[in-house]
Structure formats: structure tokens, C-alpha cells
Structure 1
């Protein structure tokens, strides 16, 4: 995906030096946030989490992004604005770990959610996606869409209005829409997960995870979830990427601490390009802080002011001071 010059200009004009230079909030990790499979949450925990997302959808904006109506719009906007720079690149996994943490920070600080951060254990639903607990209309995220627009007809998000377009303008209104595809979801099979976890290098592991497990969740839910820019509008996005983040951590955990260092990750041979298809707009590349076209630990991750910026180095350790989490 390549953005036109005017869209890049809009992003950079909005971001400005103040936000791009914002410091990372530093505090010692003393109590780690638990990350738990959705299927293992109690009904009360599920409701509290769903209510927190509904809360973000009703919380006034906290940035100056034009036309947004709530924090949910802002979260979707910042992903759309960077879509061409956070997929199929070396920062795919680091950015989305940062992004999942940003969502967690917002539901905690703005909506008072302090329960487990759930992820979707996707291999368990291969072959029976339609019966997945995550799609339950009463205790989950609602089932598939209906009608020409494929809008949700049940669950807590059936009447949600989204408004961020691929042109980054907030004006058009549309629903959360899905078109469940169990065949595509078969790529989430455990054998594909195991293949990725067995990869020897970050470069190979990242490409494997993004190719099969990652695409499976998006393609299985389908609808809005297959829009590379706007998919965070569907609340299932956060549990899907919670799972992808767990896969990365599972891979990292096989060789600690070696896989938390630059030598095992981002260098000129295995780091991955920092922009898609070798496109290196100077405005973006200079902003990233890599001092070149290859991703380094100094690469800056941003949410355009929703939470402070971080670097790849900050998010490498899931249990470190920045993310401060553990999978249980």
C-alpha cells in the first residue's frame, strides 16, 4: 500500500515535531498486566472488557485529528495513516505490540479497565470458526454480518458507527461489517504456528507470522478486517493482534536474552526494510530514526499523540518496563 504525497503531508503536518519527539513514559515494571486467552475469561471479565471498548467509542477525542468524534476513531486513524509503513516491513511486529499496548493504556486510563488483556487463541477454532466463543452474540463480539453491507446484526457492536476513510478524512459513516470465511481461517492451524516458531532468524519468523497466522485472523473474520488500513475499526482486531504478539513473544522466549538484542534482530542483513517495497520517502525515513533504510532498535513507533512514542528497543521485552505484561 502506498500513500499519495498529499496524505503523507497530512500525517506529517498533523504530527509535528512536538508529538514526534514526545518522550516515552518511564516507570519500573513492578506488577505485570496479565494477557489471557478470551476463552479463559469469565463472563464477567468478558463483559468488563467489551464495555471498555464501548467506552472508548463514547469518549471524546484527545487529539486534534480533524473530524473524529471519539477515541476509537483516533485509534483507527493512526493505523490507517501509517498502513503503508507498518505492514510487510521489519517493524510489523514491534509496531503492533506498541499499538496493542496503546489500546490497553487507553481502556485503562480513560475507561478504568484493569482486567486481563485478552487475546484470541485462533488454532483452537480452526474447523469450527462459526462456533468460536469470540463470535458469541451474548458473551462475545457478535457473529457475522448480514445484508448487502454485511453489518453486524447482534452483539455489543451491532450499532457502532465508524467514520474514518482510507483517505484519512473523518466524514463518511459506516458499520462494523464481517463476512466470516472458515476456509481462509484454516491458515491459523497449529502446524503453521509451529512452522513460524521454528524459524531461526527474526527476518524469517516475522515474515512467516505475518504471512499465515496473521492473514488467517483477518481473512477469517473478513469484511472490515481485511482492510489493511481500517481493520482496527472491528474490535476483534485487538484480540487477533494480541495473539500475533503472543506468537512473537513465544518465538523470542525460545532464546532469551539473545533475541532481545540488536545482534539477533535488526541489522543490514536481517532487519527488514523500514518502508514497503523499498519506498523511502525522506520525510518518513528521517522521522523513523534508523539513519538508513533498514529497521534498527532506534526506530520510532508513534500513535500521533494518543500515547507517548516508543522505540523498537522499548517493546522488545514483553515483560520490560514499557509493555510490562505476561501471558498466562
Structure 2
């Protein structure tokens, strides 16, 4: 049996999982069949979003009245059981702390090749380091993050905690990258709305960086993460599998700048978060597909961080539309129907200290201290 470099990165993971790597020339485990991947189920079509905005009397930010775009709008169907209660108590407390010199997260196409390579090499550094032992069957330090996400998926998806939890999760990833692998550049994000329907032609999914996307659910065999074996997933189960992608332009073609502006036209936090999760967030995961479509184990594909930095950038831009209100309040419910307040905790299960929502509402707070290029 021969093992690739990526397989060697697993270290103790093979022993922990108890699963043998198939005897293939590359030593790479087979992909999870696409029909066995538990995908994101909160998916809202663009037409549903526009319908909802028409009913709310909202317009796109460019002034186009939405009811002129859909003159025959019909009453909306009943909301799904996953939609948060937008009438939950709105907790408002001032958040004054800001940092003086925030890090600026840079859009991928403005990132130099040197920065791109430094960033992806730092991720591979984490993947080469031993797991903490606190998140079995994680096989390396990077998979501690993947396992954490898998553990809490049901608590931080399909409810109003989604945006704030993932904001802190991306910050924790960045902090670990800096403190344990010496990453000293800006964190990148990728403007997916400017790449609608053409993810495959981006440098992101080139052989120089993340590797191919349009490979029909097969293993990624080029790029920085080629021939990688993963220990976390599919879903809430765990077995050794390769990093895979499928590529679905019917999903990524729905992810447009106008759609993001439409979501951000919604003034209520919990309603905005509901549509953000079900539209551009879902389209990105499903559009990349394979490992990325796995609702529980999607961080196994390092593209996850580019995507969720984009989701957070859109959230930060929404907050910037009315900072006096949107930095200082939150509403909606958690998974159990409890109202969110600024004192609700965001848990990282020991990866980093837990925080209150109030500590991370403002990206320029002393705790987070970052902003976005635009």
C-alpha cells in the first residue's frame, strides 16, 4: 500500500478512526457518494426572496421597485419550520469598544500570489500538526476545527445564531492560524457575487491554489490540497474519505450581487439572517459540492473559510447600513426557541474562550478588530 503526502498528514487519524485507506496507487480514500452527503436543506430560491421583499414593500438598493420586477406576485407560502421567530424580544445595549488599527480582510483577486501561497501553506501547516486530542477522531490540528463544526451544526444552523456563531468561528480559525502556524498576512475572502456562475474559471479553483471544482464528486487531485484524506463526516458520522467536489453552476449562477443587496435590504436581523443562510450561503456550499455540500463536515474543504468570510462580509455590510442600531442589538431565536440577547454565549468547546454575542457584534470591537476591503 502506498500513501500520498496528504495521507501522511493524517498521522494518528488512521489509528483513531480504525478505518483502512484503500489500496489505491495514490493511497487516497474514495469519495463519499453524492447521494450519501447530508446537504444543507435550508435553501431559498431567488424568486422566493424577491416575493418576500415585494410583500414587505422593500426596494433594491439601486432604487428598482421589486413589485415592478414581479408584477404578478402571489401571496407567499407559509414559512418553513426552520424560520426564526422575528417577533422575539429585541435586546438593545450599547457596544462602545472599538480597536484603533483593525486588520483588513482582502478580497481574493486583490491578494498577491505570494499572499495566496502563504495563506494556503499555513492551512497545510495546521493539517500537518497533531490534533489536540479533544476532538476525536480529528487526525490533525485543522480537523479539530472541522470536528467542532460537526458537533454544533444542529445548534448553529437553521436559526438566528447562524451568523454570529460563524463570525466567531472564522475569527478562531484565523487566530489559530496566526498563533500556531505563524500566518502574518491579511485573511482573504472571495467576492462570490462577482463570480456568479463561473466559479470553475476563477483562480480560486485552479491547480495553483484550491484545485478543481467541476469534477463530478470525485477526489480533488490538483492544487494545494490534492489527494487529501479526511476523517470527519459524512454528516454526523466519521469515516476516512477524500476531499471531493462536484461543481454545480446552477447553484452558483443564483449567487449574484443583486441577490446579496436584496438580502441586505431587509432591516430586521433575524429575517435577514434567515435569507442570508438560505440563499447565498446555501448556494455557495451546494455550488462547490462534494465535501463542501456536507452540512456538518464542510470545513473539511478549506474553501469553507473563503466562503464564510464572504458571508460575514455581507453581514458586516448589512450592519454598516444602520450601525447605531445593528451593532447594538440582536433578535430572533436559537435552535431551542430561546430568544437571542446580547448576553447569549457563543461556544467554541475549548478551542478558544467562549464569548457573549455582544463581544462580536462589531467586527471593529477590541475582541475581533478587523474589517473588510469593501
Q: CA deviation at 1:311?
A: 1.6
**Of 205, 218, 224, which aligns to 1:135?**
205
In structure 1, the residue matched to 2:258 is 191
Task: Tell me the equivalent position of 1:316.
Answer: 361
1:54 aligns with 2:124: yes
1:299 is matched with which residue? 344
- Say if 2:103 and 2:370, in contact at 8 Å, map to a contact too: yes
Residue from 197, 208, 213 that aligns with 1:144: 213
When the two structures are superposed, what TM-score results if normalisation uses the length of structure 2? Answer: 0.71
Give the SS at the match of 1:155.
Answer: coil
| Match in the other structure for 2:281 | 214
Matches within 5 A, 1:148-227: 150-166=218-234, 172-227=239-294
| Alpha-carbon distance in structure 2 between the residues aligned to 1:317 and 1:28 | 8
Do the aligned residues in 2 keep the contact of 1:94 with 1:312 (CA within 8 Å)? Answer: yes
Conserved 8 A contact 1:93-1:248: yes
**CA separation in 1, counterparts of 2:307 and 2:298?**
11
Cα deviation 1:113-148 (Å, max 9, x = unaligned): 01011111001111322201211111x21112647x
Q: Give me the whole-angstrom Cα distance separating, in 2, the residues matched to 1:298 and 1:123.
A: 33
Q: Distance in 2 between matches of 1:234 and 1:303?
A: 20
Residues 185, 146 of structure 1: alpha-carbon distance in 2 compared, 3 angstrom cutoff:
closer
Specify the alignment match of 2:143 in structure 1.
73
Equivalent residue number for residue 109 of structure 2? 39
What secondary structure, in the 3-state scheme, does the structure 2 residue paired with 1:295 have?
Answer: coil
Conserved in 2, the CA contact under 8 Å of 1:120 and 1:240? yes
* CA-to-aligned-CA distance 1:198-250 (integer Å, 9 cap, x gap): 11111221112111111111111011111110000000000000000000000
More helix by share: 1
3-state DSSP of counterpart to 2:157 = coil
Measure how far apart 1:186 and its partner are: 1.5
Say if 1:219 and 1:166 are closer, same or farther in 2 by CA, change over 3 A. Answer: closer
Q: Which moved more, 1:94-103 or 1:211-220?
A: 211-220
Q: Indicate if the aligned counterparts of 2:247 and 2:288 stay in contact, CA closer than 8 A.
A: yes
Using a 3 Å threshold, how does the CA distance of structure 1 residues 158 and 239 change in structure 2: closer, same or farther?
same
Distance 1:106 1:244 in 2: 20
The offset of 1:70, in angstroms, is: 1.1
Larger Rg computed on CA atoms: 2
| SS of alignment partner, residue 200 of structure 1 | coil
Q: Structure 2 unaligned segments of length 5 or more: list them.
A: 1-37, 39-96
Q: How big is the alpha-carbon RMSD for the aligned residues of Structure 1 and Structure 2?
A: 1.9
**1:33 Cα shift?**
1.6
CA contact (8 A) 1:145 1:177 kept: no
Unaligned runs of 5+ in 1: 2-26, 281-291
Cα distance change on mapping 1:56 and 1:97 into 2, 3 Å: same
Q: Offset at 1:161?
A: 1.6
Instruction: Pick which of 125-134 and 236-245 moved more.
Output: 125-134
Structure 1 residues 231-240 or 185-194, which shifts more? Answer: 185-194
Contact 2:197 2:251 in 1 (8 A): no
Note the C-alpha offset of 1:169: 6.2
How many pairs align?
278
